[in-house]
A and B are shown apart, each in its own frame.
Chain A
Amino acid sequence: QSVLTQPPSVSGAPGQRVTISCTGSSSNIGAGYDVNWYQQLPGTAPKLLIYGNTNRPSGVPDRFSGSKSGTSASLAITGLQAEDEADYYCQSHDSSLKVFGGGTKLTVL
């Protein structure tokens, strides 16, 4: 049971918009800790996608955006492309500990 809860799977057609939620509690996201998002393509290491709730590292397309409210955060992907098919993980902190969500598998139909 992960500390941060994500839906196991989401799907969308090319060009559509999808969102992935990440629900925490008052001891992690709700305590003010920032949320980071990672994309893991099949057979590869995770890659930083969003940091500090809303910021994109250099090279990440602006089709990816993040938000945070209360004890939850969300990742939105617009203009869905086949190459976006991957696992997505949210990550935050709980006191001095680093915690991850259970991951969400995005399928591009």
Chain B
Amino acid sequence: QLQLQESGPGLVKPSETLSLTCTVSGGSISSSSYSWTWIRQPPGKELEWIGSMHYFGNTYYNPSIKTRVTMSVDTSKNQFSLKLSSVTAADTAVYYCAREYLGNDGQLDYWGQGTLVTVSS
């Protein structure tokens, strides 16, 4: 059974960089059938797609935060990562990592449990 687990600091200061890692177990991140995705959900609000990437490096980011986002993958550790720079209180959210099936449907079939990141001084 595939499992995803987010990890990283739960508190980040304004203007600093948020860094999260998603560890994939029970399956390989190096599959051409899937991409790896970050999604966030501010408290009490809806889901927001941050970006997706393939293990070979292609990345797709939400235009609304594209200038502040960097995603990367470490196939040797079966992990992928998110960096969000110049954070503000508006970036406070539960951050989820997920697997996307690269078919016509593009469904997110496995999700991590999520990690709350609070931006505050």
Contacts and interface: CB of A to CB of B under 8 A. Distances in A.
B108 interface: yes
B86 interface: no
Interface in B88-121: 96, 100-101, 103-109, 111-114
B104 A34 contact: yes
A15 B104 CA distance: 34
Nearest to A98: B49
A24 interface: no
Interface string A60-89: 000000000000000000000000000001
Given A45-B112, A97-B60, A51 B49 contact: no
A46 B47 contact: yes
Contact of B107 (A36, A97, A101, A102): A36
A103 B60 CA distance: 23
Contact count band on A:
20 to 34
A75 to B, nearest CB: 14
Contacts of A101: 46
B37 A52 contact: no
B7 to A, nearest CB: 15
Given A97-B60, A97-B62, A48 B108 contact: yes
Interface of A: 2, 33-34, 36, 38, 44-48, 51-52, 55, 57, 89, 91, 93, 96-103
23 contacts: A2-B46, A33-B106, A36-B108, A38-B108, A45-B96, A45-B113, A46-B47, A46-B96, A46-B108, A48-B109, A51-B101, A51-B107, A57-B109, A89-B46, A91-B47, A96-B60, A97-B63, A98-B52, A98-B100, A99-B49, A100-B46, A100-B48, A103-B47
